[in-house]
C-alpha cells in the first residue's frame, strides 16, 4: 500500500479540522509507522507492507468513528511519562497536569496521600514518584480503572496502594491518617452533554465524566466530608472542578469547616482548581 501524508490528512479532514487532521496524520506516519519527520514534512509517500497497511487502516477507521488517538495508540502523556490508557478509563487532561504541578510545589516529603477516583493512576503514580518518601493510596470504583492503574504503576515502578472503593458510600474508619487528599472526580453535568466533542462523548467512560444536573457537587460534598475525618490537622485538599461551579465548590468546603479555601484558574483562564486546609497545624511544620 502506498499513501502520502497529504492523502492521509485529506481522509481525516472529512471528520476533523485541518490542524487536527495534520496532527493525527503525523502520529500515524511518524510514531506508529516509523516515517522520518523530514519525509513527513516533505510529503514523501509511505510504502507499507501488509501489517503496516492494516495498522494504518485500523487507525484511520477508528479515528473516523471519533475514537481518541490515545486509545488507538494505547498511551497518553502526563508530565513527561507515558501512561497506558484504553476504553474504560478517562484520558488524562492538561488541566490535571497543572493541578499536579501545583501539588509538587506544595506537598512536603513523607506526605500521606490519597487520590480519590484515580482512573489511569496518573495523579497517584506521579506523586509517588516525585514526592520523596510519599505514601500514596488510590481509590476507584471501577475494576477496569484499577487494573489499568496497577499496570501503569508496575511499568513506571511506582509504589501505590490501589483500593476498590466508592467515595460516595465509604465511611471513614480512622481519623487523621492522611496529609493530602486529591481528586479529579466526575463533574460534567448531564446538561453539558450537547457541548462535548464526539470523541469524548462516544468513547470515554460516562461514570468518570457525568453527574446529575440536580446534584453537580455530589462528589465534592462526599469527599469533603471524608477529608474532615481523614485529614490530619493542617492537611490539604486538592480538587479539579467544573469551571461553572468554582464559587459553589469553595462555599461548600467553607461550610464543611475548611480554612484557606482558594479557587484558582487554569491556563485558559477558567476556574479549575479548589484547594482547602483542614483546621490545625500546617503539615510539614
> Which one, of 234, 238, 232, 186, lies nearest residue 213 by Cα?
186
Q: Is 187 annotated as a binding residue?
A: yes
Q: How far apart are CA 38 and CA 229, in angstroms?
A: 57
DSSP secondary structure code for residue 209 in this structure: T
Calculate what percentage of the chain has a pLDDT beyond 90. Answer: 82
Q: Is 34 annotated as a binding residue?
A: no
3-state secondary structure of 210: strand
Q: Which residues contact 99 (CB under 8 A, 6 or more apart)?
A: 123, 182, 184, 238, 240, 272, 273
Q: Which helix (H) or strand (E) holds 230?
A: helix 218-230
Q: How far apart are CA 38 and CA 123, in angstroms?
A: 35
In the predicted model, what is the mean pLDDT of residues 128-151?
A: 97
Residue 280 confidence (pLDDT) above 80: no
Lookup: cell for 1: 500500500
Q: Which residues contact 39 (CB under 8 A, 6 or more apart)?
A: none
Lookup: cell for 96: 490535571
Q: Is 119 annotated as a binding residue?
A: yes
Q: Is 194 annotated as a binding residue?
A: no
The DSSP annotation for 54-120 comes to HHHHHHHHHHHTT--HHHHHTEEEETTEEEE--TTSPPP-HHHHHHHHHHHHHPPTT-EEEEES-TT
Q: Is 280 annotated as a binding residue?
A: no
Q: Is 132 annotated as a binding residue?
A: no
DSSP secondary structure code for residue 44 in this structure: P
Q: Establish how many alpha carbons lie within 13 A of residue 139's alpha carbon, considering only the half-sphere containing its beta carbon.
A: 19
Q: How confident is the model at residue 277 (pLDDT cuts 50, 70, 90)?
A: very high
Residue whose grid cell is 484499577:
146
Contact 237, 246 (CB under 8 A): no
Q: How confident is the model at residue 190 (pLDDT cuts 50, 70, 90)?
A: confident
pLDDT, tens only, 225-234: 999 999 999 9
pLDDT, tens only, 81-100: 999 999 989 999 999 999 99
Q: How confident is the model at residue 205 (pLDDT cuts 50, 70, 90)?
A: confident
Q: Is 186 annotated as a binding residue?
A: yes
Sign (positive/negative) of CA torsion 51, 52, 53, 56?
positive
Q: What is the pLDDT of residue 281?
A: 52
Amino acid at each position: 500500500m502506498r499513501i502520502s501524508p497529504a492523502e492521509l490528512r485529506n481522509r481525516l479532514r472529512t471528520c476533523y479540522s485541518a490542524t487536527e487532521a495534520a496532527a493525527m496524520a503525523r502520529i500515524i506516519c511518524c510514531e506508529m509507522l516509523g516515517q522520518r519527520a523530514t519525509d513527513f514534512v516533505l510529503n514523501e509517500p509511505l510504502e507499507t507492507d501488509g501489517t503496516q497497511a492494516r495498522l494504518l487502516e485500523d487507525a484511520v477507521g477508528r479515528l473516523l468513528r471519533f475514537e481518541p488517538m490515545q486509545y488507538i495508540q494505547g498511551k497518553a502523556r502526563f508530565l513527561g511519562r507515558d501512561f497506558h490508557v484504553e476504553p474504560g478509563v478517562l484520558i488524562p487532561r492538561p488541566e490535571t497536569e497543572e493541578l499536579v504541578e501545583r501539588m509538587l510545589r506544595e506537598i512536603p516529603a513523607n506526605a500521606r496521600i490519597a487520590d480519590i477516583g484515580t482512573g489511569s493512576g496518573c495523579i497517584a503514580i506521579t506523586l509517588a514518584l516525585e514526592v520523596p518518601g510519599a505514601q500514596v493510596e488510590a481509590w476507584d470504583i471501577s475494576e477496569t480503572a484499577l487494573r489499568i492503574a496497577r499496570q501503569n504503576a508496575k511499568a513506571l515502578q511506582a509504589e501505590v496502594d490501589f483500593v476498590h472503593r466508592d467515595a460516595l458510600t465509604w465511611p471513614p474508619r480512622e481519623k487523621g491518617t492522611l496529609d493530602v487528599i486529591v481528586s479529579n472526580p466526575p463533574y460534567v453535568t448531564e446538561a453539558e452533554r450537547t457541548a462535548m466533542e464526539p470523541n469524548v462523548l462516544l468513547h470515554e467512560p460516562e461514570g468518570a465524566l457525568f453527574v446529575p444536573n440536580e446534584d453537580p457537587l455530589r462528589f465534592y460534598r462526599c469527599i469533603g466530608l471524608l477529608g474532615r475525618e481523614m485529614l490530619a490537622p493542617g492537611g490539604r485538599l486538592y480538587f479539579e472542578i467544573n469551571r461553572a461551579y468554582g464559587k459553589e465548590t469553595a462555599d461548600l468546603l467553607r461550610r464543611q469547616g475548611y480554612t484557606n479555601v482558594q479557587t484558582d484558574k487554569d491556563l485558559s483562564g477558567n476556574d479549575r482548581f479548589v484547594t482547602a486546609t483542614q483546621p490545625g497545624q500546617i503539615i510539614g511544620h
